[in-house]
Structure 1
């Protein structure tokens, strides 16, 4: 990450309040497990829906901290008047809203958010059948709704749409989606295998599109809670081989 941070600092020298650059720096801090530093970078930001990555980084921060109340309010505010120009990203933000609500313990609200997200995302999938980001969002949404078969099928579809053999950098994202779905749907062997592969290769992530999944994030991310007692997972989390 040091080289990326240097480049981001160069941008901030020119544009000190650039929302996306500050959010990228925060995402690096998250990937390194430094939530206080990430929080400090994100504190002054109030991204709108058109800064989707920054908004998702804020949502992920709240989820990693397991204090999602504020981001729930913000996402509800934004999604009350969704911008049609953002296309499927509105459905993606609804997935995040559902996840934040689920972490907050409001499971009924989470299910409603995910149902709406699924409806929105499915309508775009007809037009963009090879969009691996859209497929990934839909896989995770179905996972949240408890539709294991659909979530796993979409995870495999995402990997087929962007095989790592063809795109070593971005191909890691769909594998991460599979790991998340498998972890949440009672498939620990499949989840561990995917995570072992992910931590052995460079690449971008599924949730934060420019950040890889790291051992530090595995320690913090509630989506991997079902694996915490698995010795294979503990070994991965103890790994210092962050990419």
Structure 2
């Protein structure tokens, strides 16, 4: 895959998104953050107007680096509606909460996660069976310590959108359920869910498990360390 991206870069060396995608591959496959950091610095210096287009990946790198200044800059480039990874919209307020949590700013984290909760609650009120919004609502409630709400919403999202119905979004909903379990202190359930997720095409990788704050509450568990190793193995497609 690296060779394919290198060939694409040879054709369009100045394309910001292609450069970011190539750097992201180094992070995902090898937990190497330096190429991404250097790429972002060059893009921002060469063409500040390109930052909006790379904001999602920029924030991902910044969260993995635990870099407060980079997180703030990337968040400022995100639109209020946030991003739509794997067909699931996650509002900017949610990521603002996650960034605040990384900075150990509990007050700002609560404010931001609560804003995300309110936004997702309104969507779910209008569309009770909208799994994508339910799973984000569940994660927001997990961050706020609303354990039972978080579990019921995240589990309901999986019921509504299994991978057999939508392989892309369904895998993301499963991953978000694992995050919810981890955040509410259900480590055994989080590990069990991750054991399923790492064996299917899903928005998860060696680099993410190794570096991203989504999984910080599991880092002292040897089973999680084993899963990090398993995530480097190729996925057997059925």
* TM bracket, shorter-chain basis: 0.7 to 0.9
TM-score by length of 1: 0.78
Q: Which residue of 2 aligns with 1:166?
A: 165
1:222 maps to 2:220: no
1: CA distance, partners of 2:193 / 2:124: 25
Which whole-Å deviations, capped at 9, do the CAs of 1:176-223 have from their partners, x for residues lacking one?
A: 11111111111111101111111112x231xxxxxxx12332121223
> For structure 2, which runs of at least 5 residues remain unmatched after alignment?
45-49
Kindly report the root-mean-square deviation, in angstroms, between the aligned alpha carbons of the 2 structures.
2.9
TM-score by length of 2: 0.79
8 Å contact kept, 1:72–1:101? no
8 Å contact kept, 1:98–1:110? yes
Q: Which residue of 1 aligns with 2:229?
A: 238
Aligned-residue offset at 1:112: 0.8
Equivalent runs, 1:17-166 vs 2, <5 Å: 17-32=14-29, 33-43=31-41, 44-45=43-44, 46-48=50-52, 51=53, 54-76=54-76, 82=80, 92-166=91-165
8 Å contact kept, 1:68–1:104? yes
Aligned-residue offset at 1:66: 1.2
Deviating above 6 A after TM superposition, structure 1's stretches of 4 or more consecutive aligned residues are none
Higher percent of residues as helix? 2
1: CA distance, partners of 2:20 / 2:157: 26
2: CA distance, partners of 1:142 / 1:179: 14
> For structure 1, which runs of at least 5 residues remain unmatched after alignment?
206-212
Aligned length: 223
